[in-house]
């Protein structure tokens, strides 16, 4: 099967450079609808859905391949090959930030820049590393998800989104979770929250922008600092945006931060 069909790839815009937008857990490419169009006058824009999300081909989901973030990174590289991408800019939100890091380590010629939006290489606290959660917290979260996925989606969305004064944002995120195939979502959650990519960070040689949100329940400021210290050539930009999804809650600030960094580069 063509990866362009498998991942529901959509290409718009114009320009010599390509920018690829990758969505976070439980979401789809629609989460970039306020940001991606802003780049269409100057870039070829690529949007896609991870397998199991959005309008991707659910039959392409493979429990072995997609049992690690490396499998999702392989999907990204296959769609890049299908589009013959070289020196593309990859913008990854949440778990897709680490998927992008793994893809860029494997085939660096495909990418010239990485933009990591609310990233985390590891969600679990260990020693001096503060990922934001104890292992027991993650286990409880995953148990809740396994027992009652729809209930979990509605309960967790406000925490992930933040911005309590704008409940419609949490509602949109919860609805996105509920549209995802529940069996795949449960497996992807374990891959997302139990992955530890800290050892991979020194292997990235491509310049990266880390966009750190304020009051992010999933990726605290300590994580942004940790990444900035360990990713060679990285830039840490702290957004005024709160919560974990600035592409929805603060699209103009997110877009401006990306444009500013690319212009400076």
234 included as an active-site residue:
no
What's the rounded Cα separation, in Å, for the pair 212 and 4?
31
Mean pLDDT calculated for residue range 156-183: 89
Cα torsion 74, 26, 245, 153 to 10°: value is: -160
**Domains: count for the chain:** 1
173 in any annotated domain = no
Position of tokens 């104890």?
Answer: 134
pLDDT in tens, 76-111: 999 999 999 999 999 999 999 999 999 999 999 999
Taking only the tens place, the pLDDT of each residue in 192-247 is 999 999 999 999 999 999 999 999 999 999 999 999 999 999 999 999 999 999 99
Distance between first and last Cα of the chain: 37
| 164 part of a folded domain | no
Q: Give a yes or no: residue 24 inside a domain.
A: yes
Task: Please check the confidence at residue 43 and state whether its pLDDT lies above 90.
Answer: yes
69 found inside a domain: yes
Given 23, 66, 93, 244, which residue is catalytic?
Answer: 244
Mean pLDDT across the chain: 96
* pLDDT for res 20: 98
Instruction: Kindly state whether residue 177 falls inside one of the protein's structural domains.
Output: no
Q: b vs e for 212-250, b when ≥16 Cβ sit within 10 Å of the residue's Cβ?
A: bbeebbbbbbebbebbeeebeebbbbebebbbbbbbbbb
Query: Is the model's pLDDT at 250 over the cut of 80?
Result: yes
Q: Which of 75, 216, 234, 249 is catalytic?
A: 216
Please give the pLDDT value at position 51: 96
Q: Is 216 a catalytic residue?
A: yes
User: Which of these, 41, 39, 4, lies nearest to 21 by C-alpha position?
Assistant: 39
Active site residue 244: yes
Q: Which CATH number do you get for residue 44?
A: 3.40.50.1820
Domain presence at residue 186: no
Region of 87 (left: φ > 0; alpha: ψ -120 to 50; beta: rest) is left
106 is in which domain, residue-wise? 3-122+196-264
Cα dihedral across residues 19, 53, 95, 232: positive or negative: negative
Is 114 a domain residue? Answer: yes
Q: Which residues, 6+ apart, have CB-to-CB distance to 95 below 8 Å?
A: 24, 25, 69, 192, 195
**Of 56, 94, 96, 112, catalytic:** 94
- Answer whether residue 93 is part of any domain: yes
């Amino acid at each position: 099967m063509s990866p362009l069909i498998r991942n529901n790839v959509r290409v718009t815009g114009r320009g010599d450079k390509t920018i690829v937008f990758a969505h976070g857990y439980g979401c789809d490419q629609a989460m970039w609808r306020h940001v991606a169009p802003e780049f269409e006058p100057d870039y070829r824009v690529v949007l896609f859905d991870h397998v199991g999300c959005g309008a991707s081909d659910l039959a392409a989901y493979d429990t072995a391949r997609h049992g690690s973030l490396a499998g999702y990174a392989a999907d990204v590289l296959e769609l890049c090959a299908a589009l013959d991408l070289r020196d593309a800019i990859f913008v990854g939100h949440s778990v897709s930030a680490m998927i992008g890091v793994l893809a860029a380590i494997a085939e660096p010629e495909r990418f010239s820049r990485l933009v990591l939006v609310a990233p985390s290489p590891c969600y679990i606290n260990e020693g001096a590393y503060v990922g934001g959660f104890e292992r027991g917290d993650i286990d409880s979260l995953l148990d809740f998800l396994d027992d009652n996925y729809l209930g979990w989606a509605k309960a967790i969305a406000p925490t992930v989104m933040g911005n309590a004064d704008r409940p419609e944002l949490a509602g949109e995120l919860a609805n996105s979770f509920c549209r995802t195939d529940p069996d795949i979502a449960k497996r992807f959650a374990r891959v997302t929250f139990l992955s530890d990519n800290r050892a991979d960070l020194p292997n990235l040689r491509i310049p990266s922008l880390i966009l750190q949100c304020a009051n992010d329940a999933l990726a605290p400021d300590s994580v942004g600092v940790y990444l900035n210290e360990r990713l060679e050539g990285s830039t840490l930009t702290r957004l005024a945006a709160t919560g974990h999804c600035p592409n929805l809650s603060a699209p103009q600030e997110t877009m401006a931060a990306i444009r500013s960094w690319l212009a400076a580069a």
